[in-house]
Structure 1
Amino acid sequence: MPEMRFVVTWPDGRKETCYSPSLVVKDYFAEGQNYPLSDFLDRSRTALIIASNRVKAKHGYPCSLALSQLSRIEQAAAAYLTHAEAEVRCESFIL
């Protein structure tokens, strides 16, 4: 199963490289695209849960790295939940 990383920029300008055990992230994000925070969270949850489930289907257990990444994204996003205009940018994919 091909893994990938995707680089995002948080509303404060901080860049973060995120992990996915599957290329499914490319179905939910586009390079250079900004996403409202709530949309980014929804897309991240969907993509990383699908990726984890793909690992489970192949290996018999969910991907702890994908679920940990989702948790880190949710924790980082919490700082911006009160900012109505907060957006996250998907900068690039690293394959």
Structure 2
Amino acid sequence: MPTVDFTLRWPDGRQQRCTSPSTVIHEHFVDGQEMPVPELVARMRVAMHAASERVRARYGFACTGAAEQLEQIEAVAARYGGDAGPVTVVAVGKPAVPEVPRAS
């Protein structure tokens, strides 16, 4: 499955590069979107669950990478209060396509 990298900018300006195991992230976030920390966490839970379920539908098991990424985002979010200012979804990238080796 193609993965999608995305970048978050937290209220203090710190950026976090993240990865979704599925393109479903595009259904939940867009470039430049701002929202309060609690809203980001709630929406990220829905998005990463959907991504994990897409992996399950295709391969028969949930994606641990989605769960790990969500845990990392939740850990950073816990440092900020609900009034800390907005989180910005800086960029939601194109799917990362694995490089195919060239034939010799």
Could you tell me which residue of structure 1 aligns to residue 47 of structure 2? 47
Letter in 1 for 2:92: F
Identity of aligned residues (%): 38
C-alpha contact 2:48 2:67 (8 A) present in aligned 1: yes
- Offset at 1:47? 0.3
Could you tell me which residue of structure 1 aligns to residue 88 of structure 2? 89
C-alpha contact 2:30 2:89 (8 A) present in aligned 1: yes
Long gaps (5+) in structure 1: none
CA distance in 2, matches of 1:17, 1:49: 19
Aligned length: 94
Which runs of 4 or more aligned residues in structure 1 lie more than 2 Å from their structure 2 counterparts after TM superposition? none
Give the structure-2-normalised TM-score: 0.85
Q: Which has the larger radius of gyration?
A: 2
Cα RMSD, aligned residues only: 1.1
Q: Once the two structures are superposed, what CA deviation does each residue of 1:27-82 show, in whole Å capped at 9, x if it has no partner? A: 1111011111111011100000100011011111111111100000000000002x
Could you tell me which residue of structure 2 aligns to residue 9 of structure 1? 9
- Offset at 1:94? 2.1
Give the structure-1-normalised TM-score: 0.92
- Offset at 1:85? 4.2
Could you tell me which residue of structure 2 aligns to residue 58 of structure 1? 58
Letter in 2 for 1:94: G
